[in-house]
A and B are shown apart, each in its own frame.
Chain A
Amino acid sequence: DGGITQSPKYLFRKEGQNVTLSCEQNLNHDAMYWYRQDPGQGLRLIYYSQIVNDFQKGDIAEGYSVSREKKESFPLTVTSAQKNPTAFYLCASSPWRGTNTEAFFGQGTRLTVV
């Protein structure tokens, strides 16, 4: 089945540690996105990528890093510089052009700092 997979579903991080969230898609989509969702709030864009080896900062990129070495994969690293990383993280992919453009989402990763 085609889709977008995020792992892990739950992740716990100690203060000062870097952690990496995985996002893989087999939809052959060019564009991929990372969003952060805080309780009762909307989705804020962290990073996005339209092509392999290229990505752009979103609205809240500080304290995060990404890579796009393969079309299928867009991992997000939450670094120790992110002071308030506890949140729900959503990854999405999209063909970003064409008549059937829409974003498909993963199931999300809930990150908690302990």
Chain B
Amino acid sequence: AQTVTQSQPEMSVQEAETVTLSCTYDTSENNYYLFWYKQPPSRQMILVIRQEAYKQQNATENRFSVNFQKAAKSFSLKISDSQLGDTAMYFCAFMNTGTASKLTFGTGTRLQVTL
């Protein structure tokens, strides 16, 4: 069974600074997807960034980038130039691509961006 672990329940960063959120996962699959989702106080889940396991290049989306280490089963999210609007819960998620695919989430990291 796949598991996703986020070891940082809460983090804080000052505006304009950089912060890195950690995520590790466990799987025996070779092909899969990894995601970071953001959940603001509205509770709407918003996709931040996506990584396909077969791609060696780390995904980037504007201020958001990942460090994907397949051998170490690590998938961290870096937020550069943090903004107050980045304050939210951040969830790491795993989806395998087999016939019994399912989407599994970590327990989340609560990020607070301060002035």
Contacts and interface: CB of A to CB of B under 8 A. Distances in A.
A31 B107 CA distance: 22
A45 B102 contact: yes
Contacts of A58: 102
Interface string A71-100: 000000000000000001010101011010
B114 interface: no
Contacts of A103: 35, 45, 47, 93, 95, 103
B3 to A, nearest CB: 10
A88 B107 CA distance: 15
Interface in A27-85: 31, 33, 35, 40-45, 48, 50, 56, 58
Using C-beta atoms within 8 Å of the partner chain, give the interface range for chain A. Answer: 20 to 34
A42 B103 contact: no
Contacts, number: 60
A43 B103 CA distance: 10
A97 B93 CA distance: 15
A17 interface: no
Contacts of A101: 33, 50, 95, 97
B104 A96 contact: no
Given A97-B97, A101-B33, A92 B108 contact: no
Interface of B: 6, 33, 35, 43-45, 47, 50, 52, 91, 93, 95, 97, 99-108, 110
Can you list the 9 inter-chain pairs with the closest CB atoms, starting with the nearest? A105-B45, A42-B107, A43-B105, A42-B108, A48-B102, A102-B47, A42-B105, A96-B101, A101-B33
Interface of A: 31, 33, 35, 40-45, 48, 50, 56, 58, 88, 90, 92, 94, 96-97, 99, 101-103, 105, 107-108
